Amino acid sequence: MRTRTKGTPQRAGDAVKAQRCRNRQRAVLPVRVTGIDVDDNFYSDLVHTLDVTDTGVQLGAVHSNLKLGSLLSLQYKQHKAEFRVVWVSPRPCGREYQVGLQAILQRDLWGLEAEFRTRLQPPAPEQQPIAHA
C-alpha cells in the first residue's frame, strides 16, 4: 500500500494542479465567445467567466458543446484573445456547459494583474511634516 505525507503530490499532475489553483482568480466577467461546436457549426454567444488565470479561463453558461482542441476567440471589453478548448463539462440541467480554455498567448486579457499587484503593495506611509528647529 502506498502512503504519502500530507501536502506531497501523489502524481506529477497534482503539483501542476496545485500551482494552477494558486494563480486562479475568481472573476465573473461577461465575454463573447466565437468558435466551432462539436458539429462543426459556427458558434458565437455571450457567456461569462467563472475564474481566470494568466494562462487560461473557465467559462460558464456556454450553450453549445464546443469541440475539444478547437481554437476559439474570446472578447472581453475591447480586448480579444485566442484560446484552445481543453475540457468541456455538461451541467446537470443539460442545456449548458462549463468549458476550460488554455490561452494561446499568455497575457493579462482581464486587467486583473495590475489590480492584484495593487492589493499586494503595502499602503504608502503617511507623510509626516518636517519639524524645523
User: What pLDDT digit, counting tens, does each position of 26-77 carry?
Assistant: 999 999 999 989 999 999 999 999 999 889 999 999 999 999 999 999 999 9
CA dist 20 and 57 (Å) reads 11
The pLDDT score that the predictor gives to residue 32 is 97
The pLDDT score that the predictor gives to residue 108 is 78
Contact between 52 and 99 under an 8 Å Cβ cutoff? The reply is no
Q: Which has more confidence, 83 or 54?
A: 83
Q: Which has more confidence, 119 or 129?
A: 129
Contact between 42 and 36 under an 8 Å Cβ cutoff? The reply is yes
Nearest to 102 by CA among 58, 61, 60, 63: 58
> What residue spans define the domains of the chain?
20-110
CATH fold for domain 20-110: Thrombin, subunit H (2.40.10)
The pLDDT score that the predictor gives to residue 120 is 47
Residue located via cell numbers 442545456:
95
Q: Which has more confidence, 122 or 5?
A: 122
pLDDT tens track for 90-112:
998 878 999 999 999 987 788 86
Q: Which three cell numbers stand for residue 127?
A: 507623510
CA dist 44 and 17 (Å) reads 30
Beta strands in the chain (DSSP E): 25-26, 30-36, 42-52, 56-62, 71-76, 79-90, 97-103
Q: Is 14 helix (H, G, I), strand (E, B) or coil?
A: helix
Q: How confident is the model at residue 84 (pLDDT cuts 50, 70, 90)?
A: very high
The pLDDT score that the predictor gives to residue 111 is 80
Check residue 27 and report its DSSP letter: -
